[in-house]
């Protein structure tokens, strides 16, 4: 068994744990305002492990993510100066400036895109608060964007089911090493 296949088996075991839904809720909430790991990394294996709970997991992830987004909004609204060094240290300032310009141009659509795409959603929630974006479009854009993303992930995992789980267990080491290679290449291209 390779490095990534062992990790994959461990993740699938954790995904079936009786407290997994609580951890999914916590990760979904915190990722929207300050945590680094996206909830998709829990949502996907949990849905593979229990396909009959796919829609419950997607709904839980969406609701908790939007609630966490509201925390990010409040942080941006009331504590932006305090977190600016954190944004700088983690290299999020460029994303913050991009988010601000998007809010000025597109409002609702900016938060929708941030919620749906792999763009760091937490940066947009904080920027929305710092820019005093209207709360109703923020919440609606978050629900639509995050909901579409998480229901899409859960749906793909649910309908892929055991066949997808078996294929992943065969290919996970190759995929894992390919991603490591890609990250190393990106690092050298960007920083050297």
Domain ranges across the chain: 3-191
User: Distance (Å, rounded) from C-alpha 153 to C-alpha 157?
Assistant: 6
> Residues near 180 by Cβ (< 8 Å), separated by ≥ 6?
none
Q: What is the mean pLDDT of each run of 10 residues along the chain (192 residues)?
A: 62 77 92 84 86 95 97 92 85 82 82 83 88 92 95 89 64 66 75 68
pLDDT of residue 104: 77
User: 84 in helix, strand or coil?
Assistant: helix
């Amino acid at each position: 068994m390779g490095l990534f296949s062992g990790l994959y088996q461990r993740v699938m075991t954790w995904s079936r744990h009786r407290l997994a839904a609580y951890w999914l809720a916590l990760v979904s909430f915190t990722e929207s305002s300050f945590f680094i790991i996206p909830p998709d990394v829990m949502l996907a294996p949990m849905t593979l492990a229990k396909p009959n709970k796919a829609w419950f997991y997607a709904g839980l992830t969406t609701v908790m993510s939007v609630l966490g987004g509201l925390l990010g909004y409040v942080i941006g609204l009331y504590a932006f100066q305090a977190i600016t060094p954190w944004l700088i240290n983690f290299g999020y300032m460029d994303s913050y400036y991009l988010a601000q310009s998007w809010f000025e141009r597109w409002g609702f659509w900016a938060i929708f895109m941030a919620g749906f795409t792999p763009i760091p959603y937490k940066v947009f929630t904080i920027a929305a608060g710092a820019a005093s974006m209207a709360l109703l479009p923020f919440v609606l854009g978050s629900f639509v964007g995050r909901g579409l993303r998480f229901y899409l992930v859960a749906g793909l995992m649910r309908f892929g089911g055991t066949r997808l789980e078996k294929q992943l267990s065969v290919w996970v080491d190759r995929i894992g090493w390919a991603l490591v290679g890609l990250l190393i290449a990106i690092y050298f291209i960007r920083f050297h």
